[in-house]
Structure formats: C-alpha cells, structure tokens
Structure 1
C-alpha cells in the first residue's frame, strides 16, 4: 500500500472517531437524543468510516464491532421510519401539533396526543379555579374562554391558546378563574400524566416549556394592550 493510500485510510478512520466522539458528546450535553435520527446517522457514518479504515490494517475484533454497529444502526433507522410512517393525525390533531408543538417528532407527537383526550364542554364550564391546582393542560380548538379575577373579565382566550400553562407543571394554584364563554372544544392532558411524560422525555419537556412560555408571552402582550386601550 502506498503512503498516500495509508494516509487516506487513516483520515477516514479519524473521521469515524470524530463522529463517534461527537455524537456521544452531543448526547451527554442533552443536544440530541439516543433515539434521534441525528444520533443514529452519526453512529452509522462513524462505523462505516472505521470499518473502511480497517482495510489498511485489518483487525477482526474491531471489524466485528463496526459491522455490528452498522447493523444495529440500520435496524434503528428502519424502526424510526416505521414509527414515523405509522403516525397518523386527524386534521384537528395536526393543527394542534403544527401550531403549538411544531418541533416534536411524529412519534412523540402521537404519544402526546394519545395521552390526552378531546372534549366538548358547554358555556359556563369552569376550566380552572383560582386558588386550586390546575387539573390539566387545555388547548382550545374551538370556542372562547374568559379569564376572570375578582369577578372581572381580564382576558379572553380562543382557538390555539392554552389554559393552565403557567402552573400546570409546577402544581401551583391557579391565579385566576377560567370559564368557557361559549361552547368549547379542547384537548386536555391530565397534569400528572403530562409531568410523568416530561420527566421521562427531556425533549418533550423542552418542547412543552417552550410552547407554554410562548403562549404566556402572547397573553401578557394582549392583556397589556387591552389595559392600555382601556386606560387611554
């Protein structure tokens, strides 16, 4: 083997090593998940590079490890494809995910939706009561709700908004009453179920916290605008 060929195989092997270390580092830093497409592809590429580099200096043990890693990665990719392919959403479910949780993978989104339920409630139904823990996280699909404090309406929330977003994960008591102002259709996931899912899946927790934070900011901006209009 020429020197140039040896250098090439060494470079390919080093590339595989960098991919192995990089994928593990990203995993440990919480930037990717062990079941993610990125992690699987990085490990597949790393194993292929190291296996190719063994053409220069063959080692049976290392070759068997890399071959096994390739097989496992391919099976993992097939599993991800099947999970994604089988995940089906109704128009209503797709609207919820695309509007509120757009960064969730299809399998994770399907799991989240299956953990909750769709419900229709008549006008006047109390969805959250001041001083009491919020029973679950609500997402309004149709209709409007009123946020009341001391008998006064301080905000209206409608389609695409969450109810209970400020305290559902912390179990703190609600800071206001929330009452359906019209017949309302919403998705609800019980607080205990949501907390348990977030504890098991850090990626889901990050997506939920991002969505709830964004919803809270939008409501504060709308409330401040309404107050300025009322005072001005």
Structure 2
C-alpha cells in the first residue's frame, strides 16, 4: 500500500490488458454520474464552474486512474518556442511534461500567452522522480454554459487545438470537444506542415440517440488503454 508519509518508489510498469469493448466500458459508468451530468446540463446553470464537477467525474469514469489516465483541470498549454528563436543559454528554456520547448520559468518576467482549457486528459508515463514528468495528451474538453458566444468559443477551441499540435504533434485522429450546454462540437486536424489546421469535424446534441459524446470519449480511452 502506497502512503504519502513513506519514501516514494517507482511503481511497476503498467501491465498489458486487453482493452474492454465500447459497450463494456460504458456499462461500468455509475448511473449517478450520468444522472448528475444530465440534470446539471438541463438545469441551465448560471456559472460555467458548476459544470466542472459533473464533467470531471464523468471523464474519470471513462478514463480510469488504474490505467494511468489523468484529467487535469485548467491545465496550462504553454507557448512553444520556435527553434530559430531559442536562446543559446539552455537554462532559459524548459521541456514541458506534455512535450515542447517553452520559456523557462526562471527567466525574469511573466510568461505570456498561456492557454487554459477546462480539462486536458493525459496518459501518465511514470518515470524515476529525478526525471521530468511525462504526460501524453489524448483529448481536451472545453465547457461553456451555453452557446451565446459560440463564435468566440469556437475561436478559443481552435487555439487550444493548434497549441496542442505544436506541443504534442498528435495525428489526425486526435479529437477535442467543445461542450456548450447540450451542444457538442468535435474538433480534429487536417493537412500537414504549413497546411496543418484545426477544424470542426462533427457536431451533435449531447442527448440525441446514439450516446455520441460518451462513445467518442470511450473510443479514445480504449485506444490508449495500454
């Protein structure tokens, strides 16, 4: 049993496990989690923060901690330094846990242009404590209590997606989600190199038959199970 008052030891590597089927994984989500999320969305909440708890536990139900998934609230997507602009003094740059070279926090002044999506779900790669942490970004979820500022929200989500592309260079199967009350927009990538762009690839009501939001997220969890 691991406890916080003991010297930490590196756990054994994640054991290989046959991934569950989509239906089997969805069946393991506790009914109260689904009930809480649906009734909270339907209640037309006054504050976006009221959605954070229900969505957070929903993500945890789909991406289990025993498979080393972690959903980070307000995760910082730091600006990536262009290789041509990197300082010769390597102490002025740092390598982020999710990938990418960034301006070191040791450099005087405030770091600018950080992006803070509501939830960044990652696969945790455990390493010895003397090495930097390593997280693999597998999806991003942004929440809005309604779609009153849809154009602004879409522009914000596109910025998140392009920053993730700079940091982690995901393939074109990567998906991000903008949840505006009961409307979900799914984001992906197209093109390569200078033609690389983020775009909306699907849109649906979260409550329509087909359970699309849950199945989309579950498919991501299954893909990164091992």
TM-score (norm: length of structure 2): 0.20
Q: Of the two, which has the highest radius of gyration?
A: 1
As a proportion of its length, which structure holds more helix?
A: 1
As a proportion of its length, which structure holds more strand?
A: 2
